[in-house]
Amino acid sequence: MDRSRAPLPARLAAFLVPRARRRAWLAEWAGEVAWARTRIPPGRAGWEGRLRLGVRTAWCVADALVLRAEEISMEGTIRGLRFALRGLVRNPLFSTLSVLTLALGIGATSAIFTVVNGVLLEPLPFQDEETLVAVGLSAPRLGYDDVPLSQGSYLYFRDRLRTLDGLALYQSERMALLGGGEPQEVAAARVTPSFFEVLGVGALLGRTFTVDEGRPGAEAVAVLSEGLWTERFGADPSVLGRVVEMDGVQRRIVGVMPASLRYPGEETRVWRPMEIDEATAPVMAFGQPGIGRLAPGASVADVGREVQGLLAGLGEYAPDQVPPAFLENAGLVSRVEPLRARIVGDISRALWVVLGTVAAVLLIACANVANLFLVRAESRSREVALRTALGADRGSLSRLFLGEGLVLAALAGVIGLALAHVGVGVFVSLAPAGIPLVSQIAVDGTVLAVTAGLALGTGLLFGMIPVWRAGPGELSSTLRDAGGRGRTAGRRAQRARNGLVISQVALALVLLIGSGLMLRSFQALRSVDLGFRAEHVLTVPLAPSGASYRTPGERLALYEPILDLVQALPGVEQAALADHVPLDGRLTAGPFYIEGIAETDADNPPIGEAFQVTPGYFEALSIRVLRGRGLTRDDDGRANRGVVVSRATAETWWGGEDALGRRLSWNDDRVWYTVVGVVDDVRFRAPDRDPDFAVYFPLVAGDESTMVVPNGATLTVRTTGDPMDLLPAVREAVWSVDPNLPITRALPAEELVARATSRTSFTVLLLGLASSIALVLGAVGIYGVIAYVVGQRRQEIGVRMALGARAGSVRRMILVQGARGGGRRGGAGPRGGVGAQLRHGGAALRRHPAGSLDVRGGDGRPAHGGGGGELAACLAGESGGSGAGPAGRMNTGGTSPAGPPSVS
Amino acid sequence: MAGRGFNLTYPTAAVLIAVRHGYRYGFDVMDATGLPDGTVYPILRRLERRGVLEADWEPDADAHAEGRPPRRYYGLTVRGEAVVQEAADRFPLLVRLFDGASPQGA
């Protein structure tokens, strides 16, 4: 081995070392390594020493890197930055356009990325969140893709599932809170004691529930959220053990949960135990979602398979509750998914689409700035060539221009981050209630890193353009071309610029068309016939607290006087009560039994939505009565049992025969109701969902002994004016009957509709915003490039005007060229531009028939003699329109040996 | 020391004191100080740039005799003498570590 030669790692790393020091550096490492080799004992004994030397030698990379960094930091960076700042200050239009364009792109992308990060990427605030699963079912044959568990099925699965370490059940609810302030209605949840254990969240103060507290007859307890504890109880630790009335029940507070626990809802404030009687837990009352923790080694799919396998045994487990053919007829299958997927739901697709859209906006911004840089690079190619001729190597040139790109991008990044911060604030405040995990949305380290990455990437990209534009091969021709100012772009550069302008306009158009389509479907959604009229309707949910309203009679005694009082209020056209109203998110679907038809298929009854309403409900919501009549007080089931069905129900269940006079019963209780009317279909689940079957029962159903009166009811009031104006009077009326009844969610029905379409409208808003930004950027881009190019062509325009071209014709020329996608400004075609002709020396200018100047092409040099360039520069300078000073004249004159142009 | 232009950290002090004790070549300094391989050369470069150390090549004849290329050695400048004194004051144990030991190759 040649001992004077540097070792391989050093020879490789030498490329990092600045050229001026490379030889000495290599020699130093060669000397050290060669010396060290002489100290290694020969043969096998020396293997350890050789290994050590190898490792030590490899570290020469660190040495080389330090030298490289030193050079950059010492000279390159400072000089480059100073140079960059000077260059940017000298071109305020260019700098401002570039920075603002990039800032918009970076800001929009960072803002939406912040949302995507918070909602889709950030881990849920639970221990080992990836092992949490949502356990449920679906019944595709009944049209229900999401069927929660029931208490009975929970017990069945809990005792059998081996792939889960724990299973819990919850049910969201709202409860009235008394004591410690005004009556307040809060979001709450009934949960099995295993709930907190499955989620892996311990109490901040006190404890969670014991197993016994999940059984009937146990003491009534509750745990509070940290938020409620702070707001209502002043974060007083002595709240533990205090008894507070919740929904009419005195509950002892046993714990406070940390603010990070926002489950099942973002706003859940109180958790209370779900009391399950193991002997009588209903199997068929599917209404409580389940969550589970994967057992070690088990996957989500494993749980799905196990649940599916166990489903077959459900009928055997509770033969008295599960109709034999139900499981098969309903097509009940397991639906197990990661908890995150359950929480995030279908919003993820919309978010990714919006992120893709703003990424396109960033691309447009980049194309924009790239274009500006390209135009600028054209005008600086001479500067680059000169620097090269004076000895600047490509590296130092790169650093100079990179500095410029990085300064611009850094500025844009900072402004973009500020924009993102503001944008995220606006997003969160506008976000509809359905957007999950809103509390997790914040500009954090990941977002900062992404923004910095975006800025760095764009800065590097744009900084390299001038260097790339002026490769070493072009040096001599660039210097020879020296005219600089009179010169216009070469064909290659122009093609690149035109390509960029075209692609950004195309991208902007794609976005516009996309958001236009979205807007159309949104409009279609807004204009869909919901089956009821929401204008001038006020909805006031009433939630009577448990203890005073345990029996149907007690609840009736509350509802009836309230309804009478409200109906008597001035401005009220019609008041009604219903257990739930369209689009309020509550559903009470159940099986129906149809006399004469369904009895033959008792195991597979049709499923429909059951509403309980008072007379006047159809008038209050302007639901059209198509046949027969609406409900009256006589239909309340004490004497007659009347029922009204929707059109789809009548047509499907009775196969087009007249439904009036037919009988049906609800929930297999074989209490028969007679159809007295058919009303129009109402889209009560969602505006974009076809109307399901709906059956309207009287609010008060049955006689005194079997009376059914719902636990909660919504006052539905049609008014003559603004529904919210009526709210104070309604509140008075309600409180005159029961001063402890909380009224916290009164809304105009229009708001219910707006909320039901909020996800779509929100997506439309975001996409529309992104497309508008894209359009503005596209326009700014085209303007910026044309303005800059025109600026570069001042001299040429001066020549044209000095030779008699009118301002109008020059404008027309610029416009036509712009419209052609940049036209053939510098092209070498038969009718090439002035600049190209000047470059070639002799140009034959002549008046175009249309009045504008044109240049008759060809090589005019021998025919016309020299001085064309000089003449042009002088003329332009004297015309005052070009700003070309003596330097310009000298430059042009020095390199244009061709003769004067002849004007024909 | 104000105006020194670099931080007198433990590794820097170790390198300086090693050089004063006669460990003048990069690899010797690595062996003498026990500092990680990747840290010694960057320190030597920095100290050289700051005028604390100066470097030269060992005479060709010496290297030739061993059949190897010459090595580059480092020595303290006048400024370096002052800085090494400061290092010795700040890290007295380091000095004691080197006292009594002598370089192999110097």
Count CB neighbours of A276 within 10 A. Answer: 21
- First-last CA distance in chain A: 78
- Is residue A626 a contact partner of residue A680, using CB atoms and an 8 Å limit? yes
**More confident of the two residues B38 and A602:** B38
Residue at A116: amino acid letter: V
Structure confidence at residue A142 (pLDDT): 66
Asked if B49's CB is within 8 angstroms of A70's CB, the reply is yes
Confidence of residue A293 (pLDDT cuts 50, 70, 90): very high
Measured between CA atoms, how close is A20 to chain B, in angstroms?
15
What CA–CA distance (Å, rounded) separates B26 from B48? 12
- Is residue A840 a contact partner of residue A897, using CB atoms and an 8 Å limit? no
Q: Which two tokens stand for residue A184?
A: 């307040």
Structure confidence at residue A822 (pLDDT): 42
What CA–CA distance (Å, rounded) separates A731 from B58? 99
Task: Give the angle A124-A127-A128 at the CA atoms, nearest 5°.
Answer: 85
H-type alpha helices, A528-628: 552-567, 617-620
* pLDDT tens digits, A505-527: 777 778 778 777 877 877 777 77
* pLDDT tens digits, A688-713: 777 778 999 888 776 666 677 777 88
Measured between CA atoms, how close is A12 to chain B, in angstroms?
16
Nearest C-alpha neighbor of A358 from the set A189, A588, A109: A109
- Is residue A136 a contact partner of residue A154, using CB atoms and an 8 Å limit? no
Count CB neighbours of B62 within 10 A. Answer: 11
Phi, psi of A186 (to 5 degrees): -125, 155
| A288 bridge partner residues | A149
Q: With beta carbons under 8 A apart, name residues in chain A contacting B41.
A: 59-60, 62-63, 66
Give me chain A's average pLDDT, please: 77
Asked if A60's CB is within 8 angstroms of B26's CB, the reply is no
For B25, the closest chain A residue by CA position comes to A32
User: The whole model's pTM is what?
Assistant: 0.58
**More confident of the two residues A896 and A596:** A596
* pLDDT tens digits, B47-75: 998 899 999 999 888 888 888 899 999 99
Name which of B25, B38, B39 is nearest A32 (Cβ-Cβ).
Answer: B25
- Is residue A80 a contact partner of residue A403, using CB atoms and an 8 Å limit? yes
For A69, the closest chain B residue by CA position comes to B42
Within A504-606, strands assigned E span 537-542, 572-578, 589-594
Confidence of residue A854 (pLDDT cuts 50, 70, 90): very low
Q: Residues of chain B whose C-beta is under 8 A from some C-beta in A?
A: 25-27, 30, 37-39, 41-42, 45-46, 49, 57-58, 63, 66-72, 105
Q: Report the complex ipTM.
A: 0.93
pLDDT over 60 at A849, yes or no: no
Q: With beta carbons under 8 A apart, name residues in chain A contacting B69.
A: 3-4, 27, 30-31, 34
| A484 bridge partner residues | none
Structure confidence at residue A332 (pLDDT): 82
Structure confidence at residue A807 (pLDDT): 86
Residue A636 DSSP code: B
Structure confidence at residue A873 (pLDDT): 30
For B37, the closest chain A residue by CA position comes to A56
Asked if A4's CB is within 8 angstroms of B41's CB, the reply is no
Q: With beta carbons under 8 A apart, name residues in chain B contacting A16.
A: none
For A70, the closest chain B residue by CA position comes to B46
Q: Which two tokens stand for residue A872?
A: 């042009």
A52-56, A136-140, A537-541: which has the minimum mean pLDDT? A136-140
User: How confident is the model over A228-249, as a mean pLDDT?
Assistant: 84
Q: With beta carbons under 8 A apart, name residues in chain A contacting B46.
A: 66
Quick check: helix, strand or coil at residue A613?
strand
**More confident of the two residues A84 and A747:** A747
Structure confidence at residue A405 (pLDDT): 80
- Is residue A648 a contact partner of residue A656, using CB atoms and an 8 Å limit? no
In terms of DSSP bridges, do strands A607-613 and A694-698 run parallel, antiparallel, or are they unpaired?
parallel
Structure confidence at residue A840 (pLDDT): 34
- Is residue A314 a contact partner of residue A153, using CB atoms and an 8 Å limit? yes
Asked if B38's CB is within 8 angstroms of A62's CB, the reply is yes
Asked if B70's CB is within 8 angstroms of A62's CB, the reply is no
pLDDT over 70 at A133, yes or no: yes
A66-75, A130-139, A198-207, A331-340: which has the minimum mean pLDDT? A66-75
Asked if B71's CB is within 8 angstroms of A38's CB, the reply is no
What CA–CA distance (Å, rounded) separates A793 from A882? 8
Q: With beta carbons under 8 A apart, name residues in chain A contacting B63.
A: 31
**Is A28 touching B (CB cutoff 8 A)?**
yes
A289-293, A370-374, A577-581: which has the minimum mean pLDDT? A370-374
Confidence of residue A80 (pLDDT cuts 50, 70, 90): low
What CA–CA distance (Å, rounded) separates A230 from A248? 22
What CA–CA distance (Å, rounded) separates A93 from A258? 53
**More confident of the two residues B34 and A478:** B34
- First-last CA distance in chain B: 30
Structure confidence at residue A892 (pLDDT): 34
CB pairs under 8 A between A and B: 62
Q: With beta carbons under 8 A apart, name residues in chain B contacting A36.
A: 27
The CA–CA distances, whole Å, from A576 to A529, A645, A694, A708, B61 equal 22, 18, 18, 17, 111
Q: Output the CA torsion A367→A368→A371→A377 (10° steps).
A: -110
Q: With beta carbons under 8 A apart, name residues in chain A contacting B68.
A: 3-4, 31, 34-35, 37-38
- Residue/partner pairs of A772-776 with CB below 8 Å, 24 or more apart: A773/A104, A773/A108, A773/A361, A774/A360, A774/A361, A774/A364, A774/A507, A774/A508, A774/A511, A774/A512, A775/A508, A775/A511, A775/A512, A776/A104
Name which of B46, B49, B68 is nearest A35 (Cβ-Cβ).
Answer: B68
Asked if A66's CB is within 8 angstroms of B42's CB, the reply is yes
Confidence of residue A876 (pLDDT cuts 50, 70, 90): very low
